[in-house]
A and B are shown apart, each in its own frame.
Chain A
Amino acid sequence: MQGRVIKAGVVKGQALVSSEPMGFLGMVDPDTGIVIEKNHPLSGECIAGKILIFPTGKGSTVGSYTLYRLKKNGKAPLAIINQQSEAIVAVGAIIAEIPMLDQLDITQFKTNDWVKIEQDQVTICHEESL
């Protein structure tokens, strides 16, 4: 699949997929990487080291700095894939240097899929055989 590069990078990891938009300020614990937003499909999950996949961002603009802080704490996602990116997460990904793509059909991904990102190319595999 081909996406649109927001922040370029080459990574491989396991997907964590949310069907709902994600915010970061007050919704992800910057020290643990655990989603603390109540009633969110990923509530209680840890985003650290995952290819985090969600439709789009939401919430306070300080969320960009939360992504930066997650990165500094070693709890950032490995990469971010959005269906349609917006400014908060995009700026956060750039300043935190987290590879990010958008304009991909995120219904193609399932949690725990192995996902490989090389610039604008994305490959999905259901096992670690990439």
Chain B
Amino acid sequence: MLFDDDLSVAQHPLESVFPIYQKVSAVELTNEEKSILDGKQGPARQKAMEIVVALGKIYGAENLIPIVSAQISGVSYKNLGDPGLEFLHEWAKQGGQVSVPTTLNPAGMDLEHWQELGFKDDFAKKQLQVIDCFQQFQIPPICSCTPYLIGNLPKLGDHLAWAESSAIAFANSVLGSRTNREGGPSALAAALLGKTANYGLHLDHARLASYLILVQCPLQNEADFGALGYKVGKLVQNSIPYFRGIHHATLPQLKALGAAMAAVGSVALFHIEGLTPEASMKHTLADHYQTIEIQDLQDGYQKLNSTASDIDMVAIGCPHASWEEIQHIAGLLMGKKVKAKFWITTAAPTYYFAQRAGLAKIIENAGAHIVSDTCMIVAPLQDLGIRSIATNSAKAAYYAPSHCGVQVRYGNLRACVDAALSGRFTDAG
């Protein structure tokens, strides 16, 4: 039951527990912004302005800044529940439209193929109502946690209001764009206004790393990056880590690293020496920092793994699979048949790509499913009779036991595909 990016407990920068009489900061508003706050542009935009201004006050913003795009969380009915749906319905009814390109986080089901995938009618009905609310705001019904793979691709220095934690980490770190960890309502508010409050990661000084992470072990695949992300997320919590010793990383690997750190800690930005743009352009390590050496990933793997050996479902695509990952899976599944249920979750445009490229056919002939719009965490897995999953996602492995009530095995893509083919997870993946 959560609406912010995913399932994490919110961690906002409350510097100390109860500071009394902190300096009262005023957010300077333009005349137009003031008129929106006074309701002159209707109740929907007024509410949006109230939210953005309140957050600006709380976090000491001096003004509002234009954003180039928004990413809304709190889309799955599983997380929103009826109160969330009611709230969206009421807000949408007040008549507002988004002012910038806006994408949605995963929903609780594949919006097209939910019936054949076994989703219940009641759930589907509510989920479609949620999507309908967003469509009233003129947000297209494409649901993905990887907006940057489907055209919501900001540039270096662009300001954003994104609410999906893994996408926030990717945008801030890999793209060099700037966004705080927005919640569902605040990202939607910013989308309606085309503006957000100027504080936190929008500002240069807040983007310096306070941890130097010396990576002293090899990183061979996305699961290694995820295990590293688990360890570092636990250690640094909501701080910014600066990695030294990662010499090469693919897009899926960077996606996995950021997603794990964002889920386990609440890392919104990381730098990698020689790889990420800000770390390549300027000095991004703070004057005072702590140094952590990572010598192996064993305990990361241990913490993410249960002892289950029989696997009901293999879940790949958290965050949503890129076309290169789908291509890789198609190669491993070619001419074979899976025993366990096998979901590859992705964005609908990526699914379309897989169909056009003939990859979807190979995967479906093997008995696996490419599932759009949703993921294993925000879908009601227990309703689908799933008790154990194997995944190559540290984020999914971290959340699934508590949020989906399933046992998890964590390993690289090959180990997961092997588990799908045999119905059993073996450690020699």
Contacts and interface: CB of A to CB of B under 8 A. Distances in A.
Interface of A: 4, 6-7, 21, 25-26, 30, 55-56, 59-62, 64-66, 68-69, 72, 83-88, 90-91, 94-95, 102-103, 105
> Which of A21, A25, A88, A91 has the largest count of B CB atoms less than 10 A from its CB?
A91
A65 B3 contact: yes
Find the residue from A60, A65, A95 having the highest chain B CB count within 10 A.
A65
Given A56-B18, A94-B50, A87 B12 contact: yes
B369 interface: no
Given A61-B4, A72-B83, A87-B10, A7 B50 contact: yes
Contacts, number: 103
Interface in B273-331: none
Contacts of B80: 65
Given A72-B83, A90-B58, A91-B55, 9 more contacts: A6-B54, A60-B2, A61-B10, A64-B183, A65-B87, A66-B83, A86-B12, A95-B87, A95-B185
B57 interface: yes
B186 A87 contact: yes
Contact of B20 (A65, A83, A85, A87): A83
B78 to A, nearest CB: 11
B3 A62 contact: yes
Of A6, A21, A88, A94, most buried by chain B (CB within 10 Å of CB) is A94
Interface residues on B, range: 35 or more
A21 B87 CA distance: 25
B19 to A, nearest CB: 5
Given A62-B79, A64-B185, A65-B81, A85 B9 contact: no
A44 to B, nearest CB: 23
B276 to A, nearest CB: 27
Interface of B: 1-4, 9-10, 12, 14, 17-22, 24, 47, 50-51, 54-55, 57-58, 79-84, 86-87, 91, 183-186
B83 A30 contact: yes
A64 B55 CA distance: 13
Contacts of B87: 65, 68, 95
12 contacts: A6-B57, A60-B9, A61-B4, A61-B183, A65-B3, A65-B83, A65-B87, A87-B12, A87-B58, A91-B51, A94-B50, A103-B24
Contacts of B47: 94-95
Contacts of A59: 9-10
A90 B58 CA distance: 9
A60 B266 CA distance: 13
A55 B58 contact: no
Contact of B58 (A25, A61, A62, A85): A85
Contacts of A86: 12, 14, 58
A124 B22 CA distance: 22
Given A61-B10, A86-B58, A103 B17 contact: no
Given A25-B1, A60-B9, A87 B19 contact: no
B368 to A, nearest CB: 33
B83 A7 contact: no
B55 A87 contact: yes
B186 A56 contact: no
A87 B81 CA distance: 20
B183 A55 contact: no
Contacts of A68: 83, 86-87
Given A61-B3, A95-B87, A103 B58 contact: no
A21 B86 CA distance: 27
A34 B287 CA distance: 48
Contacts of B20: 83-84, 105
Given A65-B83, A94-B50, A95-B87, A84 B57 contact: no
A124 to B, nearest CB: 16
A62 B55 CA distance: 16
A82 to B, nearest CB: 9
Contacts of A6: 54, 57-58
B339 to A, nearest CB: 37
Given A66-B83, A94-B50, A4 B24 contact: yes
Contacts of A84: 14, 18-20, 22
Contacts of B58: 6, 85-87, 90, 102
A102 B20 CA distance: 9
A6 B185 CA distance: 15
Contacts of A66: 83
Most buried by A among B83, B91, B183: B83
A68 B54 CA distance: 17
A60 B79 CA distance: 11
A30 B82 CA distance: 12
A25 B7 CA distance: 13
Nearest to B51: A94
A90 B55 CA distance: 8
A30 B55 CA distance: 24
A62 B2 contact: yes
